[in-house]
Structure 1
Amino acid sequence: MIIEKVVANIADMDKAEIEKRHIEKVYLESALLVKRIQRVKTDHGHEIGIRLKEQRDLLAGDILFMDEKNLIMIDVLADDLIVISPRSLHEMGTIAHQLGNRHLPAQFEESEMLVQYDYLVEELLQELQIPYKREDRKVRQAFRHIGHSHGE
């Protein structure tokens, strides 16, 4: 089976519509969510080719296939993350500036800043005395670097 478009996202579906279907999952590392062309395997052992026609990243919960009885969706494996919990706008600005200088991609969930684990970032947070914890957590989308160069 070759998948060329995402049908929907499970977060946007009615609970009753989901429950009447058998669900298979494709587990991906968050870094693979940016790949439009890849070969994957479901948790039931079925091989699927993904060749998305539209220019978009995959997201956790994206439905690759759905009929009256079955549904195949994307799920994301947990990443090793640093979860930063600044106590003030000043701390948020300080760490955001420091991470931006290192071109590290970040994600935000409520009042937390998420970055992929890096021992240098951990040392920086300790030095700046900004609260953080290291944990394995699923993210909904890939950590994406924003293209930028300092020179022309």
Structure 2
Amino acid sequence: MKGMDFNMLVKNILGNINNFEIGTKDIDEVAIEWYEVDKRILKKQSKKGIEVGIKLEQPYKLQDGDILFFDEKEILIVSIIPCDTISIIPESMRDMGKICYEIGNKHIPLFFYNNEVLVNYDEPLMRLLEKEGFKPEKTVRKLIDGLKQHSHSHEH
């Protein structure tokens, strides 16, 4: 990549590919795990082998499709890696409340997609949700747009 033949340091996100006219630009991706989106400093290698350092000047939650670099020919974006998840479709608002309570009680990050509740796969949680009569499914998905978690401590 022009200007990217050496290690690259990214300090700002330039937008998101979903709101950007790609045209004929060649796309390269920096893959990150869902739990890395809040980190301000990351060192990754793009799919094309470019060493990329991400050191954001402002606190920012990385999003799938965020643009790290572009020029007239190429664009470098963030790609969140799909992972094993538990997907649950609540049948009622009562079920939604119970599901979110059980997940929240375990301090596991929670994600929503349309009418699904998604969490990173956890075997004990899967068994608990099955035992409670829900119909969780093990799937492979990108965990994006998670709920903001509150950090607090309490005794169980």
Q: Same fold (TM over 0.5)?
A: yes
State whether structure 2 residue 41 is matched by structure 1 residue 34. no
1:87 to 84, 87, 91: 91
State whether structure 2 residue 82 is matched by structure 1 residue 75. no
What is residue 111 of structure 1 aligned with on the other side? Answer: 115
CA contact (8 A) 2:111 2:144 kept: no
1:11 to 7, 12, 18: 18
The SS at the match of 2:112 is strand
The SS at the match of 1:8 is coil
Larger proportion of helix: 1
State whether structure 2 residue 52 is matched by structure 1 residue 48. yes
Gap runs ≥5 in structure 2? 1-7
The SS at the match of 1:19 is coil
Report the count of equivalent residues: 148
The SS at the match of 2:27 is strand
CA contact (8 A) 2:110 2:146 kept: no
Q: Output the CA distance in 2 between the equivalents of 1:49 and 1:141.
A: 23
CA deviations over 1:97-139 (Å, ceiling 9, x no partner): 1222222210111110001111111111111111221011112
CA contact (8 A) 2:111 2:146 kept: no
Q: Output the CA distance in 2 between the equivalents of 1:63 and 1:131.
A: 37
CA contact (8 A) 1:58 1:141 kept: no
State whether structure 2 residue 131 is matched by structure 1 residue 124. no
Q: Output the CA distance in 1 between the equivalents of 2:51 and 2:134.
A: 45
Percent of paired sites with the same residue: 34
State the structure with bigger RCO (CA 8 A, min sep 6), 1 or 2. 1
Gap runs ≥5 in structure 1? none
Taking structure 2 as the reference length, what is the TM-score of the superposition? 0.88
What is residue 101 of structure 1 aligned with on the other side? Answer: 105
